[in-house]
Amino acid sequence: MVPAPGGRAAQPVYRPILASRRGELEALSHLDPASAALVAPVLEIGTRDRSVVDTLRRLPSGMMPAVDVSALPDTPEAELTRWGVPVVPVVGLAERDHRLVAHGAAARAYGRRALIRLRSAQDRAGPDASTTAVERIWRFTSLAPEECDLLLDAGDVCCPADVRAAEPRVRRLLDWARRHAWRSVTVAAGGMPPTLSRLPTDEAIRLERWDWQLWRRLADAGVGYGDYGVHPAVPGTGDATDRLPTVRYTDDGSWWIYRWARRGGRGDERFADLCRTLVSAPHWPSTGAAFSWGDHELLRRARRGAGAGSAANWAAWSTSHHLAYVLSTLVHPHANGGPRWHPGQGPPQRGRSLR
């Protein structure tokens, strides 16, 4: 980690947008302090219960998550100052006046910071209307532009056509964003397909990380990077009914999807076989279990040192590796501890690629 100039604390370089599920939160809790200082997660809160607040308290020291409560009813329970946990409020352009005031109180209580989330597929009112909307936010929250981070959320980009359609929309928003003195500007998108249930099983399947490709095409704009981890961007999608052991393993511009349906033996044996296949693959990092907490847990299963776990565990281990891989790529683009190859060379021989 390279310290910021003048001895200041390092600034986050990665904003993953994560659901407040057990797996994703557990992966965040296992980040080491140096990595935690560089990750600024955006947590989407689907339900307000005590366990969410307790989990937020267990996140690594120095990590200040942004919390999006837009899915919660507009009640006092959704006011972040009542949670008693330092967070950054996430503010949408269409928030009601009362909620903007509550977000402003939370921002002022925890370091005068807010994250304004602009969704490119939904907030398409034009530059002048967008300026009117953010000026209203600053007025009701009593914040200045330089106290607000801007998140341009492109939503799902799951194919080349999605990338081609998203890029000009995002560039227009970036042109508008330059009118204002934001604290930072980040572009985020999600590239994981809504469902994996139609993919072949019992072999590694390579999927393109189209969200990463979109950000690479925007490299000249000098914006920060965000994504949706290893899950789709659209809420409510995914494989809620798919109970096959599944690992979503991030690599250079791709994911390797492992879904194991081999019959015979116990579930623990099936997952151990999955993990043995993974740790012998070319995309297993050269540092092995030291690469991330998730890699450590996967190697334990490959050696039959623990049980298969649950869907929440598989999500936690996959997310842990993803966070470490993305962060390593952003901080050290040419030395992330894993094997690399150029897209023009094609994928490795082990496993299949699906576009």
How far is Cα 204 from Cα 222, in angstroms, rounded to an integer? 34
One-letter amino acid of 134:
V
**Per-residue pLDDT band at 350 (split at 50, 70, 90):** very low
How far, in whole angstroms, is CA 183 from its chain's centroid? 20
> What are 313-325's pLDDT values in tens digits?
999 999 999 999 9
Nearest to 255 by CA among 199, 313, 188: 199
> What are the backbone dihedrals phi and psi of residue 222, each rounded to the nearest 5 degrees, phi first?
65, 40
One-letter amino acid of 295:
D
Nearest to 30 by CA among 331, 338, 318: 318
281 is a domain residue? yes
355 is a domain residue? no
Q: Which of 42-51, 131-140, 333-342 has the highest mean pLDDT?
A: 131-140
Query: What pLDDT, on the 0 to 100 scale, is given for residue 8?
Result: 41
Query: What pLDDT, on the 0 to 100 scale, is given for residue 3?
Result: 38
Angle between helices 160-177 and 127-141 (to 10 degrees): 60
342 is a domain residue? yes
CATH number for the domain harbouring residue 119: 3.20.20.10
Nearest to 64 by CA among 99, 12, 120, 139: 12
One-letter amino acid of 292:
S
Query: What pLDDT, on the 0 to 100 scale, is given for residue 54?
Result: 87
Mean predicted lDDT score pLDDT of the chain = 88
Antiparallel, parallel or unpaired: β 224-227 and 184-190: parallel
Q: Which residues pair with 119 in a beta bridge?
A: 153
User: 238-274 burial, b for 16+ CB within 10 Å, e for fewer?
Assistant: bbeeeebbbbbbbbbbbbbbbbbeeeeeeeeebbbbb
How is residue 236 annotated by DSSP? T
6 is a domain residue? no
Residue of 7 and 177 predicted with greater confidence: 177
> What are 215-251's pLDDT values in tens digits?
999 999 999 999 999 999 986 555 555 678 999 999 9
27: buried, middle or exposed (CB in 10 Å: 19+, 13-18, 0-12)?
A: buried
**Percent of the chain whose predicted confidence (pLDDT) is above 70:** 86
**Per-residue pLDDT band at 62 (split at 50, 70, 90):** confident
How far is Cα 16 from Cα 34, in angstroms, rounded to an integer? 17
206 is a domain residue? yes
344: buried, middle or exposed (CB in 10 Å: 19+, 13-18, 0-12)?
A: exposed
Number of domains in the chain: 1
Query: What pLDDT, on the 0 to 100 scale, is given for residue 7?
Result: 39
Query: What pLDDT, on the 0 to 100 scale, is given for residue 355?
Result: 52
326 is a domain residue? yes
One-letter amino acid of 35:
S
Residue 238's domain comprises 11-349
> What are 165-217's pLDDT values in tens digits?
999 999 999 999 999 999 999 999 999 999 998 999 999 999 999 999 999 99
- Count CB neighbours of 305 within 10 A: 10
4 is a domain residue? no
